[in-house]
Structure 1
Amino acid sequence: MFSFSMPELVLILVIALIVFGPGKLPEVGKAIGKGIQEFRRASSDITSPKEEPAKVETKPDSKQPDEKK
């Protein structure tokens, strides 16, 4: 996709450190990572075929007393 060399990556990191500061940089990285993960999950949900949920049969509750007729 993208091909960055080591000096380009260092320059991007230094600029991000100056803009966000050392305290906010881990939070920004975590937010970007979660955003990318959510985007991938949403795009894979769109492209993969949907499966219908399995029907679950319910059994009568045996703890209830039988009705007398």
Structure 2
Amino acid sequence: MIEELKGARARRRYEREMIWWGAMLPYLKKPFPLEKFAGTDQSPKERAQAFHDAWGKIDRALERGRRA
């Protein structure tokens, strides 16, 4: 079971790397690190806070659209 999880984790990392390379192609002069792109450079608490902050912005924008 543990070995299966390691394989799934490796596959997910590989998929993220491929997405990162595709996203970085237009910016190859100044790419940013894969860890930052994948969100693995932050602690789980920081990632959760960033996630909630981003959705808070979306919610506020949607609410403004409803009032207009």
Bigger RCO of structures 1 and 2 (CA < 8 A, at least 6 apart): 2
Work out which of the two has the higher radius of gyration on C-alpha atoms and give 1 or 2.
Answer: 1
Question: Normalized against structure 1, the TM-score is what?
Answer: 0.41
